C-alpha cells in the first residue's frame, strides 16, 4: 500500500477524532513494517543474486538428488560441480530421525563451505502410499483418505503438522499437496494421491492442506499444473495428452489451482502433459503459453515454478534434443528438477550455461525494459530462502538478519506461533485417529453394520493392526483356508475379510456368490480404482490407505455400529481394465 496514501488517511482519522483510531494506527504500523520487510527482502535478494558468477547462477536453477544418507564423496563432488539451488531426498536418503537431521545439517554446512546459498531441501511427503520420511513424522493417511473426510479442518491440520515436522528435520520444501482432480478412474499415476474426484472436495480440503502447510514452516508445492487427473498415461513412462480447451480447464482442473493461488500459494510444480488445444507443440513444463500465459498472466501467480522431474520419459524420450532445461526456464519455470546426479546433472548445467552465455535468457519487454530471465529465476529462490530464515543457521549467514531487526523479530514471531500451534495440537489429543476414522467410506452404498453377534461372526484377517482391533472385541479369527470349512456351519452369518488387492477381492467375491445367505464385508486398504464386484450380500469398507492407523480405523469403524457414508468417487465401470495391479514406485 502506498505510504503517502496511508499517512493521508491516518491524518484524516486523527482530525475527525475517529473512535477506532487506535485500531487504524495499529493497522497502519503493521502495513508499514510489512512494506519495509518486503523492500529489504527484494533488495537483499537481488544483491546476493548479482554477486553470483555465471556458473553459480545456472547451478542455482537446478535441483539434484544424491545417492545416500550422508554427504559422501559422490554428493560432495556433485554439489561442487553443479552448485545446485536445492537437493531432493528420496527413501534411500531418509533413515532414522537422527540420520535425517545429520544429513540436512551437513548439506547446509556444505553449501556454506562451498560459498553457496542455503539449499532448499525437498521431498514428497504426501502421506499414504507416497510417504518418504518414516521416522520423526506423523503417519497420516494419503490425500484421498483426507479428502473423503470432507473437512477443511483436517486438511489444514495434516498440512500443518507434516510441514512443521519436516522443517524440524531440516527438510524445508514439501512437494505436496496434489491439486489434481482424479475424475478419470483409469489414471495410473495420480490415483489415491488425489484428494478426490470432485472439484469442490479438492478445492476445499486440498487447498486447506496447502494453507496449513504454509503455516508449518516448510514451503508447500501445489501440483501438477494445470492438472494431471484426467490422464490414462503415466508421464514417468510416456507422454500424456489432454484434449481440452482452456475454457474447459477453467471449469474443472484449474479451479483448485486458482483458489490456492488466490489464497497465497507460493510454489507450483508443472505437469509433463501436452494440451494440444492450448499448445500443440510442448507439454506444460516447456510451454510458454501455459506457464507464462495461463499461470503467470491469467492466474496472476508470482511465486516459484518448479518442473516435475526432467528425467521422466514424457520429457527425456520426446524433447531431449530441444534443450528441455532451456525451454522450461524460457517458459516461466524457476527451477529445473532432477532426480539424479552425475552425467544428467552435468548435461543440464552445460545446456543452461551455454544458453546463458549466448543470451538466450535475455529478453526485451514491450516497454523496452531488459530482462534477464535466469537471474529472475534465481532471485525468486534467494528471496524465498531469506523469507524462510534459511540463512539464520550459525553455519550460514545469521548476520544477514541483524541488518533488519524488523524482519528478525517477524521471523522469530512466526516460529513461536508455529511452535505454540503444534503444542496446542499435541495437547488436544487424538486428531490422527479422528482423521483416520472420518475417512472410512462404504461401497456400493452407505453401510450400517449389523448388531455385533460374536457367535455368528468370523474374520479371516491378515493385517496385524486390523486383526488386533477385532480380537479385542472377541471376534473369532481364522485363515482363508479354514474359512471355507466354517462357512458350511449355519450359525456363521457374518464374515469379515481384509484385502489390499484386486486378486484378494476376487477370491472373496467368489465365496459371496457361493454362500448367498451370509453377509460378507471386505475391509479394503488398497486403491479403490479396481474392480469391486457388487453382490447383494457383499459390502466394502474403504480406507484408501495402507497405514497402520487406517487399518485400525477400518476395524473400529465397523465395530462402532454407526452408519458409514457411501464413497464419493468416480470408480471403475464394470469390466474396465484396472490401471495398475503392481506396487507403486516412488513418484513426484
Task: Give pLDDT tens digits for 427-460.
Answer: 877 899 999 999 999 999 999 987 666 668 899 9
Confidence of residue 586 (pLDDT cuts 50, 70, 90): very low
Q: Residue 372: what are its φ and ψ, rounded to 5°?
A: -115, 95
Pairwise CA distance, residues 471 & 85, whole Å: 52
Catalytic residues: 308
Cα→Cα distances 495→8, 124, 143, 362, 498, Å = 75, 38, 29, 69, 10
Identify whether residues 1 and 90 lie together within a single domain: no
pLDDT, position 303: 98
Percentage of the residues of the chain whose pLDDT score is greater than 70: 90
pLDDT, position 15: 47
274 or 480, which is more confident: 274
Residue with cell 457361493: 514
Identify whether residues 45 and 68 lie together within a single domain: no
Query: Is 414 among the domain residues?
Result: no
Query: Is 308 among the domain residues?
Result: yes
Which of 357, 390, 423 terminates a domain? The answer is 390
Query: Could you say which DSSP state residue 375 is in?
Result: H
Identify whether residues 18 and 149 lie together within a single domain: no
> Taking every pair of C-alpha atoms in the chain, what is the biggest distance, in angstroms?
91
19 or 259, which is more confident: 259
pLDDT, position 476: 80
Provide CB contacts within 8 A for 282, sequence distance 6+: 274, 288, 319, 327, 331
Query: Is 448 among the domain residues?
Result: yes
Which of 51, 73, 88 terminates a domain? The answer is 51
Identify whether residues 381 and 521 lie together within a single domain: no
Decide if pLDDT at 18 tops 60: no
pLDDT, position 25: 52
pLDDT, position 150: 97
CA atoms within a 13 Å half-sphere pointing along the CA-CB vector of 272: 26
Q: What is the pLDDT averaged over residues 552-574?
A: 94
Q: What is the pLDDT averaged over residues 6-34?
A: 59
Pairwise CA distance, residues 159 & 205, whole Å: 10
Q: What is the pLDDT of residues 107-151, one digit of tens each?
A: 999 999 999 999 999 999 988 778 899 999 999 999 999 999 999
Query: Could you say which DSSP state residue 388 is in?
Result: T
pLDDT, position 583: 39
Query: Is 572 among the domain residues?
Result: no
Q: Do residues 159 and 210 touch, judged by C-beta distance below 8 A?
A: yes
Q: Do residues 208 and 260 touch, judged by C-beta distance below 8 A?
A: no
Pairwise CA distance, residues 247 & 70, whole Å: 48
Decide if pLDDT at 226 tops 50: yes
Identify whether residues 298 and 202 lie together within a single domain: yes
Residue with cell 484386486: 502
Identify whether residues 154 and 260 lie together within a single domain: yes
233 or 347, which is more confident: 347
Q: Residue 178: what are its φ and ψ, rounded to 5°?
A: -80, 130
pLDDT, position 507: 94
Decide if pLDDT at 6 tops 60: no
Q: Is the dihedral of CA 324, 326, 328, 331 positive or negative?
A: negative
Query: Is 2 among the domain residues?
Result: yes
Q: What is the pLDDT of residues 302-339, one digit of tens each?
A: 999 999 999 998 898 999 899 999 999 999 999 999 99
Identify whether residues 154 and 232 lie together within a single domain: yes
Identify whether residues 347 and 473 lie together within a single domain: no
Give the residue from 175, 117, 124, 123 showing the smallest Cα distance to 378.
117
Q: Residue 122: what are its φ and ψ, rounded to 5°?
A: -115, 165
Query: Is 420 among the domain residues?
Result: no
Q: Do residues 375 and 382 touch, judged by C-beta distance below 8 A?
A: no
Confidence of residue 581 (pLDDT cuts 50, 70, 90): very low
Bridge partners of 370?
364
Bridge pairing between strands 267-270 and 222-225:
parallel
| Domain CATH number, residue 298 | 3.20.20.300
Q: Do residues 257 and 299 touch, judged by C-beta distance below 8 A?
A: yes
pLDDT, position 428: 77
Percentage of the residues of the chain whose pLDDT score is greater than 90: 75
| Domain CATH number, residue 520 | 3.40.50.10490
Q: Identify the burial level of 100 via C-beta atoms within 10 angstroms of its C-beta, where 0-12 means exposed, 13-18 middle and 19 or more buried.
A: buried
pLDDT, position 582: 40
Q: Do residues 283 and 272 touch, judged by C-beta distance below 8 A?
A: yes
Pairwise CA distance, residues 27 & 20, whole Å: 11
Q: What angle (nearest 5°) sits at the alpha carbon of residue 342, between those of residues 338 and 347?
A: 70
Alpha helical stretches, state H, 51-172: 54-60, 73-82, 97-113, 143-149, 152-168
Confidence of residue 248 (pLDDT cuts 50, 70, 90): very high
Residue spans of beta strands (DSSP E) within 72-119: 86-88
Confidence of residue 577 (pLDDT cuts 50, 70, 90): confident
Q: What is the pLDDT of residues 360-393, one digit of tens each?
A: 999 877 777 889 999 999 999 999 999 999 998 6
Identify whether residues 118 and 14 lie together within a single domain: no
Instruction: Please give the tally of structural domains in the chain.
Output: 3
Q: Do residues 35 and 3 touch, judged by C-beta distance below 8 A?
A: yes
Q: Do residues 308 and 337 touch, judged by C-beta distance below 8 A?
A: yes
Q: What end-to-end distance do the CA atoms of the chain give, in Å?
A: 38
Q: What is the domain extent for residue 503?
A: 436-560
Identify whether residues 181 and 240 lie together within a single domain: yes
Could you tell me if residue 312 is left (phi over 0), alpha (psi between -120 and 50 degrees) or otherwise beta? beta
**Range from 270-279, 357-366, 391-400 that averages highest in pLDDT:** 270-279
28 or 586, which is more confident: 28
Lowest mean pLDDT among 232-241, 337-346, 396-405: 232-241
Q: What is the pLDDT averaged over residues 259-287?
A: 97
Pairwise CA distance, residues 536 & 534, whole Å: 7
Cis peptide before 310 (omega within 30 of 0): no
Pairwise CA distance, residues 450 & 494, whole Å: 9
Which of 354, 371, 390 terminates a domain? The answer is 390
Cis peptide before 231 (omega within 30 of 0): no
Interior/surface letters 37-60, b for 16+ CB within 10 angstroms, e for the rest? beeebeebbbebbeebeeebbbbb
Q: Do residues 529 and 427 touch, judged by C-beta distance below 8 A?
A: no
Q: Do residues 291 and 269 touch, judged by C-beta distance below 8 A?
A: no
Identify whether residues 383 and 333 lie together within a single domain: yes
Bridge pairing between strands 538-542 and 441-443:
antiparallel
Query: Is 363 among the domain residues?
Result: yes
Identify whether residues 57 and 136 lie together within a single domain: yes
Query: Is 177 among the domain residues?
Result: yes
Q: How high is the mean pLDDT of the chain?
A: 90
Pairwise CA distance, residues 347 & 326, whole Å: 12
Confidence of residue 74 (pLDDT cuts 50, 70, 90): very high
Decide if pLDDT at 63 tops 70: yes
Cα→Cα distances 89→64, 101, 119, 170, Å = 9, 12, 12, 11
Give the residue from 141, 255, 156 showing the smallest Cα distance to 202.
255
Lowest mean pLDDT among 9-23, 154-168, 288-302, 412-426: 9-23
Q: What is the pLDDT of residues 498-507, one digit of tens each?
A: 999 999 999 9
Lowest mean pLDDT among 182-191, 245-254, 318-327, 515-524: 182-191
Residue with cell 478412474: 185
Amino acid at each position: 500500500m502506498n505510504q503517502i496514501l496511508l499517512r493521508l488517511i491516518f491524518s484524516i482519522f486523527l482530525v475527525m477524532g475517529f473512535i477506532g483510531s487506535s485500531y487504524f494506527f495499529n493497522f497502519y504500523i503493521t502495513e508499514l513494517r510489512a512494506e519495509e520487510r518486503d523492500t529489504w527482502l527484494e533488495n537483499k535478494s537481488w544483491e546476493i543474486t548479482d554477486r553470483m558468477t555465471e556458473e553459480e547462477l545456472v547451478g542455482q536453477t537446478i535441483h539434484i538428488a544424491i545417492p545416500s544418507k550422508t554427504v559422501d564423496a559422490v554428493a560432495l563432488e556433485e554439489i561442487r560441480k553443479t552448485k545446485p539451488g536445492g537437493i531432493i531426498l528420496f527413501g534411500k536418503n531418509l533413515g532414522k530421525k537422527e540420520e535425517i537431521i545429520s544429513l540436512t545439517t551437513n548439506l547446509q554446512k556444505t553449501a556454506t563451505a562451498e560459498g553457496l546459498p542455503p539449499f532448499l531441501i525437498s521431498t514428497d511427503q504426501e502421506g499414504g502410499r507416497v510417504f518418504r520420511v518414516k521416522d520423526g513424522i506423523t503417519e497420516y493417511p494419503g490425500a484421498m483418505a483426507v479428502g473423503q473426510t470432507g473437512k477443511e479442518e483436517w486438511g489444514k491440520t495434516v498440512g500443518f503438522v507434516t510441514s512443521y515436522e519436516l522443517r524440524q528435520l531440516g527438510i524445508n520444501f514439501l512437494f505436496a499437496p496434489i491439486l489434481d482432480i482424479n475424475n478419470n478412474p483409469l489414471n495410473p499415476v495420480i490415483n489415491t494421491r488425489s484428494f478426490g474426484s470432485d472439484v469442490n472436495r479438492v478445492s476445499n480440503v486440498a487447498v486447506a492442506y496447502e494453507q496449513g502447510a504454509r503455516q508449518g514452516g516448510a514451503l508447500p508445492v501445489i501440483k501438477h499444473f494445470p492438472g494431471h487427473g484426467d490422464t490414462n498415461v503415466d508421464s514417468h513412462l510416456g507422454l500424456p495428452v489432454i484434449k481440452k480447451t482452456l475454457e474447459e480447464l477453467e471449469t474443472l482442473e484449474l479451479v483448485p489451482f486458482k483458489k490456492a493461488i488466490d489464497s497465497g500459494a507460493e510454489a507450483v510444480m508443472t505437469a509433463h502433459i501436452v494440451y494440444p488445444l492450448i499448445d500443440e507443440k510442448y507439454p506444460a513444463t516447456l510451454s510458454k503459453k501455459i506457464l507464462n500465459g495461463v499461470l503467470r498472466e491469467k492466474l496472476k501467480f508470482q511465486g516459484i515454478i518448479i518442473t516435475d522431474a526432467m528425467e521422466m520419459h514424457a520429457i527425456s524420450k520426446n524433447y531431449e534434443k530441444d534443450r528441455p532445461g532451456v525451454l522450461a526456464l524460457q517458459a516461466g519455470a524457476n527451477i529445473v528438477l532432477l532426480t539424479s546426479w552425475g552425467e544428467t546433472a552435468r548435461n543440464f548445467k552445460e545446456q543452461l550455461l551455454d544458453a546463458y552465455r549466448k543470451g538466450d535468457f535475455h529478453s526485451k519487454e514491450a516497454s523496452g525494459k531488459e530482462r534477464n530471465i535466469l537471474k529472475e529465476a534465481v532471485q525468486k529462490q534467494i528471496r524465498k530462502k531469506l523469507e524462510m530464515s534459511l540463512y539464520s543457521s550459525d553455519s550460514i549467514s545469521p548476520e544477514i538478519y541483524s541488518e533488519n531487526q524488523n524482519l528478525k523479530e517477524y521471523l522469530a514471531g512466526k516460529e513461536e506461533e508455529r511452535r505454540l500451534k503444534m503444542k496446542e495440537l499435541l495437547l488436544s489429543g487424538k486428531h490422527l485417529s479422528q482423521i483416520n476414522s472420518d475417512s472410512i467410506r462404504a461401497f456400493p452404498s452407505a453401510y450400517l453394520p449389523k448388531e455385533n453377534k460374536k457367535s455368528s461372526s468370523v474374520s479371516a484377517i491378515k493385517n496385524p493392526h486390523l486383526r488386533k482391533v477385532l480380537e479385542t472385541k472377541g471376534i473369532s479369527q481364522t485363515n482363508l483356508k479354514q474359512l471355507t470349512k466354517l462357512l458350511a456351519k449355519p450359525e456363521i452369518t457374518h464374515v469379515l475379510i481384509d484385502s489390499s488387492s484386486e486378486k484378494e477381492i476376487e477370491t472373496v467375491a467368489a465365496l459371496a456368490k457361493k454362500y448367498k445367505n451370509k453377509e460378507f464385508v471386505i475391509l479394503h486398504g488398497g486403491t479403490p480404482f479396481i474392480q469391486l464386484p457388487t453382490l447383494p450380500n457383499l459390502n466394502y469398507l474403504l480406507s484408501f490407505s495402507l497405514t497402520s492407523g487406517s487399518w485400525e480405523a477400518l476395524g473400529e469403524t465397523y465395530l462402532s455400529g454407526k452408519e458409514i457414508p457411501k464413497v464419493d468417487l468416480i470408480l471403475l465401470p464394470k469390466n474396465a481394465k484396472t490401471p495398475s495391479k503392481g506396487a507403486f514406485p516412488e513418484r513426484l
